[in-house]
């Protein structure tokens, strides 16, 4: 009946994605400054604003001039130092995003250094400038400031998606990318089917470093998803990591953690009900695992969203 007199309709697709922004900072340093060799499980954008910077990534040397930026992938080993005799100013942000297509685009590119004149720099620089302004103004204490920062971050993601997709346009999809996408889709289905059936066969968050039987069950889920692809478990792990920047187990863990957070934000569901939907037989086990992953209990997490 609702559509009986409908002439036309336009709809946005349903969207369900999470991201985190870490340690975004604007910093001016002396010519003697350096940062030691390290790695982290995050994407990083490092934009040089003044001076000159040398960064070694995976043993390869890059020199940045003002306006140049480096786009690093998770676990890229890197170190940096100021060049020349003048002070150096740079803006750096670390982020994680679970959108599979964006992760694939970010991980696929071998070109880490983008000069100030590059097409990608032209696309994302306006959003970076907004973030720099918000950072230098000390924004973040007020809700409106946080919303402006989120808006700028989503602009950045849109720019990265657009610029990287244009660069990849016309390139044939490799078998590696197709295999990784199949694994990702299978893992996503396992999470949805687990919740829909209130299953206990795929228990907990799983993933690297989990306690008890969670890790075993996660390994079983990953093995079931990859079994029919014709590759060994180690090959599937290597292929998936090369495309998405994380292992299949870590990806499954992220999916389940996101699902747990979304369910906890539904006020009509008790923590016990959430734990049952996720396949836990014991609410204490769920609470312990959730705190292990997030640093806070399920009750404390949901209290931040409900008065």
Q: Which fold has domain 19-168?
A: Jelly Rolls (2.60.120)
Pick the closest to residue 300 from 273, 253, 261 (CA basis): 261
Mean pLDDT to the nearest integer, 250-270? 86
Q: Quick check: 20 pLDDT over 50? A: yes
Q: What is the pLDDT of residue 170?
A: 45
Average pLDDT score, the chain: 83
Which of the two residues, 304 and 74, has the higher pLDDT score?
Answer: 74
**198 — pLDDT class (breaks 50, 70, 90):** low
Q: Quick check: 289 pLDDT over 80? A: yes
CB 280, CB 203: distance < 8 Å: yes
| Highest-scoring range by mean pLDDT, 5-9, 37-41, 129-133 | 129-133
What superfamily in CATH does domain 175-303 come from?
Homeodomain-like (1.10.10.60)
**pLDDT above 90 as % of the chain:** 33
Contacts of 302 (CB under 8 A, 6+ apart): 264, 265, 271
Mean pLDDT to the nearest integer, 276-305? 85
Q: Quick check: 188 pLDDT over 80? A: yes
**107 — pLDDT class (breaks 50, 70, 90):** confident
- At 170, list the tokens: 């016309």
Q: Quick check: 266 pLDDT over 50? A: yes
Q: Where are the domains of the chain?
A: 19-168, 175-303
Q: What is the pLDDT of residue 145?
A: 84
Distance CA 130, CA 76 (A): 26
Mean pLDDT to the nearest integer, 169-174? 54
Q: What is the pLDDT of residue 58?
A: 92
Q: Quick check: 202 pLDDT over 50? A: no
Q: Quick check: 3 pLDDT over 90? A: no
pLDDT tens profile 36-88: 998 888 899 999 999 999 999 999 999 999 999 999 998 899 999 999 999 99
pLDDT tens profile 224-253: 888 878 788 888 888 888 888 889 998 888
- At 33, list the tokens: 């400054």
CB 112, CB 57: distance < 8 Å: yes
**214 — pLDDT class (breaks 50, 70, 90):** low
Q: Quick check: 277 pLDDT over 90? A: no
Q: Quick check: 203 pLDDT over 70? A: no
Mean pLDDT to the nearest integer, 278-303? 86
Whether this prediction's pTM lies above 0.85 is answered by no
Q: Quick check: 208 pLDDT over 50? A: no
Mean pLDDT to the nearest integer, 95-120? 87
For residues 34-72, one letter each, b for 16 or more C-beta atoms within 10 angstroms of the residue's C-beta and e for the rest, the string is eeeeeebebbbbbbbbebbbebebeeeebebeebbbbbb
Mean pLDDT to the nearest integer, 101-126? 90
| Measured torsion, CA atoms of residues 270, 274, 280, 281, in degrees rounded to the nearest 10 | 30
- At 61, list the tokens: 């040397």
Distance CA 128, CA 23 (A): 14
């Amino acid at each position: 009946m609702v559509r009986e007199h409908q002439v036309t309709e336009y709809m946005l697709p349903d969207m369900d994605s999470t991201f985190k922004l870490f340690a975004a900072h604007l910093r001016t340093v002396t010519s003697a400054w350096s940062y030691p060799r390290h790695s982290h499980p995050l994407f990083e954008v490092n934009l040089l604003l003044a001076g000159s910077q040398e960064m070694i990534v995976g043993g390869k040397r890059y020199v940045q001039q003002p306006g140049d930026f480096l786009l690093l992938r998770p676990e890229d080993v890197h170190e940096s130092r100021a060049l020349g005799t003048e002070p150096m100013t740079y803006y750096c942000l670390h982020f994680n995003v679970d959108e599979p297509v964006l992760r694939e685009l970010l991980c696929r590119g071998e070109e880490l250094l983008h000069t100030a004149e590059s097409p990608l720099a032209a696309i994302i620089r306006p959003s970076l400038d907004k973030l720099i302004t918000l950072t230098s103004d000390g924004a973040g204490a007020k809700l409106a400031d946080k919303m402006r920062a989120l808006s700028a971050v989503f602009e950045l993601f849109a720019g990265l998606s657009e610029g990287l997709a244009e660069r990849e346009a016309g390139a044939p999809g490799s078998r590696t990318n197709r295999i990784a996408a199949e694994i990702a889709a299978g893992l996503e289905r396992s999470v949805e089917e687990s919740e829909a059936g209130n299953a206990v066969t795929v228990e907990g968050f799983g993933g690297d470093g989990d306690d008890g039987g969670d890790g075993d069950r996660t390994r079983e889920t990953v093995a079931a998803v990859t079994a029919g692809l014709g590759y060994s478990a180690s090959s599937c792990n290597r292929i998936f990591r090369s495309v998405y920047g994380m292992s299949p187990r870590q990806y499954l863990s992220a999916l389940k953690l996101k699902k747990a957070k979304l369910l906890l934000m539904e006020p009509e569901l008790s923590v016990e009900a959430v734990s049952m939907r996720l396949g836990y037989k014991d609410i204490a086990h769920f609470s312990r695992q959730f705190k292990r992953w997030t640093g806070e209990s399920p009750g404390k997490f949901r209290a931040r969203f409900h008065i």
